[in-house]
Amino acid sequence: MIKKLIIYSGFVLLLGWWIYRKLYHPDETGIYKVNQSDIVHFDSIRGPEGALHIPLQVFTPWTKFAKGSTSRVAILLTDTNSSWLALVHGFKSAGIPFLVTQNYKAALKHSMVVVYPTLSPRYLNIEALRALAEFPRKGGILVAFNVTSEGISEVFGFKKSAPQYKRYELRFERTVVENSHMGNASNWIIRLGNKEAGADPIASTSYISPLNKPLAYYEDNSAAITVKPYAKGRSYAIGLDLGYFLHKAYNNIREDLGVSNLLQISPTADVLMNLLKNIYQQNCANAVTISPIPENKKLSVVLTHNVSSKKQFFNALYFAHFEHSQKIKSTYFIQAKYISDYAGVAFITPSNAKYLKKMVEWGMEIGSQSVTATDKFTYLSNGTGRESYPDYQPYVYDSRKVYNATIAGELRVSKFLLEKVAGVTVNSFRTVSYQVPQSLPQLLKASKYQYSSSTTTNRTYTHRPFPLNYGYDNFAETGLFEFPVTINDEFSASQLKEQFGKTIEMAYELTNFQGTMLISLNPDTLAKLDFEKDLIESVKEFSWVGSLNDYASFWKARDMVEIDMKDDTVLEVNAPLAITGLTIQLPVGWQMYNYEPLGLPVDQYGDKLWFYNFKGKARIYFTRKTL
């Protein structure tokens, strides 16, 4: 009887699984025969030839980030089996110069030391612990995460610590000097999770009986970030693993914090990284940092559009014409739709090729939004890597089924066809509905894309770009970058009009922590063009405005810029890639009086250096004014 019951139950489960797959998952067998009259053919266009070569996963060593002068922040890495790579990416994003070391003696030669993942006898010997304890007493700045050892608590000015797993908010203290950079009301409380939505926060530590007013509290009023001032130095204990938090944010191991893309910003990662930057700038005499914004502006506004229907394709021409008239570039993520199916008629046709070329002529960037723009993208198989036009024939059968489609095919065939038809290189990709299968980063790299814009600021908790890791893991970089969307296509023209004031408020909020406003505006109606016109007019005086490719080219070059202070009055800058609009923040009172090489395209505006167009190495000489 039991045996029959087990067999029957197994049969029911198997049948249920088969029905579920048929209803909700694409059929990837490739057996669906597409009517040839539904396929658009271009004479003499076939390809791409050959197969994708998916790169092997090569772990990124911490030694990649081990070089630099003592003017940088030293990250003392106490455990390599941690989220140190995400923390490094956070430092890069914030523009804080740093190096990584496992040698505590080398770290203590710097003015500021960040111990990661934790300062504990488990990872450091007694000699190292004593030296680190003396560091702030001798004038150094010491930062550590999840400080739980009672023998070290006195260094950070609290009696003992208490671990907790259900703290959902950080509330910053308004009166402490370290938080003086937080000029916006929405930044004073940031989310670590969302209890109502079931989004659990990461583990945290609270500090009991702090001697000084904490920099931040949890919602239960326990201390989350402590400070202990010394005669010259300071120590800070941060009650969460910032690297792990960034790892979850950057690598899509995320829970939605429940923040609206349009009405509210979600800057948790940016606020925490800016706190570290502010500590560095306030306490270190030689603190120079790299602005995330080009051309000495306060905000980056990136204009993008998703085009996935014939109507949107022709509406996009009106948007592009307006942008061209304003000498503004924008990005159009175009579905390479050459097959008519349930989702709509094909619009990448020989007769429409001239319109794509006209958009390119106007200076617009053409990006890809795949071939089918299917909302089943996450469930597709990777494919063979040999998919090519016109033999690759994915077909959207109805709202629940798509046949013959693969991730590799959607990436490489769309890129190939758009490049051939438009006559331009396609660098950027965006998935529909912000779907991010685990294989996406490495398949993007294999397909020769450079940039992705396939997630939102709600999911990443940051309004800045960040590197894409192999398999969305924490060990290997791909060399690609992700640019999360701030305002997305889910809003109608009437909603955009009603909330225009809120949108402008959000733009000003983003200036407080040098964020990026990446707009995805669907040209499904020309009424949305009025929103774009009004937005550009409202922000153009203080914002850099342009396409994803232009901003991403800046960001990629910026990511490689190295800055170091030599002899206290000489700044060395190394830019391996050409960069336009590089801006460097200087300490107050510094004045440039000379530079090398002769003719260097740089000017000083207050406490900012602005490099107009630069590649190579330079030395900038300063005098310091007494304040």
Mean pLDDT of the chain: 92
Does the pLDDT value for residue 3 go beyond 80? Answer: no
Assess if residue 14 is contained within a domain.
Answer: no
CATH number reported for the structural domain that contains residue 588 in this entry: 2.60.40
Predicted confidence band at 5 (pLDDT cuts at 50, 70, 90)? low
Predicted confidence band at 177 (pLDDT cuts at 50, 70, 90)? confident
Examine the domain organization and report whether 248 and 316 are in the same domain.
Answer: no
Assess if residue 464 is contained within a domain.
Answer: yes
Tens digits of residue pLDDT in 374-432: 999 999 999 999 999 999 999 999 999 999 999 999 999 999 999 999 999 999 999 99
Examine the domain organization and report whether 306 and 396 are in the same domain.
Answer: yes
Examine the domain organization and report whether 471 and 505 are in the same domain.
Answer: yes
Examine the domain organization and report whether 304 and 276 are in the same domain.
Answer: no
Examine the domain organization and report whether 386 and 278 are in the same domain.
Answer: no
Rounded to 5 degrees, what angle do the CA atoms 404, 407, 411 make?
A: 110
The pair phi, psi for residue 331, each rounded to 5°, is -110, 135
Q: Which residues span the domain enclosing 367? A: 294-555
Tens digits of residue pLDDT in 51-83: 999 989 999 999 999 999 999 999 999 999 999
pLDDT at 488: 85
Task: Specify the higher pLDDT residue, 166 or 321.
Answer: 321
Examine the domain organization and report whether 403 and 543 are in the same domain.
Answer: yes
Assess if residue 450 is contained within a domain.
Answer: yes
Examine the domain organization and report whether 167 and 180 are in the same domain.
Answer: yes
Q: Which two tokens stand for residue 98?
A: 């740093």
Assess if residue 38 is contained within a domain.
Answer: no
Task: State the Cα–Cα distance between residues 205 and 245, nearest whole angstrom.
Answer: 14
Examine the domain organization and report whether 448 and 472 are in the same domain.
Answer: yes
Does the pLDDT value for residue 222 go beyond 80? Answer: yes
Does the pLDDT value for residue 241 go beyond 80? Answer: yes
pLDDT at 12: 61
pTM: predicted TM-score of the whole model, two decimal places = 0.93
Examine the domain organization and report whether 174 and 144 are in the same domain.
Answer: yes
Q: Is 239 left (phi over 0), alpha (psi -120 to 50) or beta?
A: alpha
Predicted confidence band at 260 (pLDDT cuts at 50, 70, 90)? very low
Domain end residue (candidates: 555, 573, 593): 555
pLDDT at 213: 95
Examine the domain organization and report whether 229 and 359 are in the same domain.
Answer: no
pLDDT at 201: 83
Task: State the Cα–Cα distance between residues 81 and 498, nearest whole angstrom.
Answer: 49
Does the pLDDT value for residue 579 go beyond 80? Answer: yes
Does the pLDDT value for residue 255 go beyond 60? Answer: no
pLDDT at 359: 98
274-308: b (≥16 Cβ within 10 Å) or e: bbbbbbbbebbebbbbbbbbbbbbbbbbbbbbbbb
Domain count, the chain: 3
Predicted confidence band at 186 (pLDDT cuts at 50, 70, 90)? low
* % residues pLDDT > 70 (the chain): 92
Task: Specify the higher pLDDT residue, 245 or 198.
Answer: 245
pLDDT at 181: 74
Does the pLDDT value for residue 626 go beyond 80? Answer: no
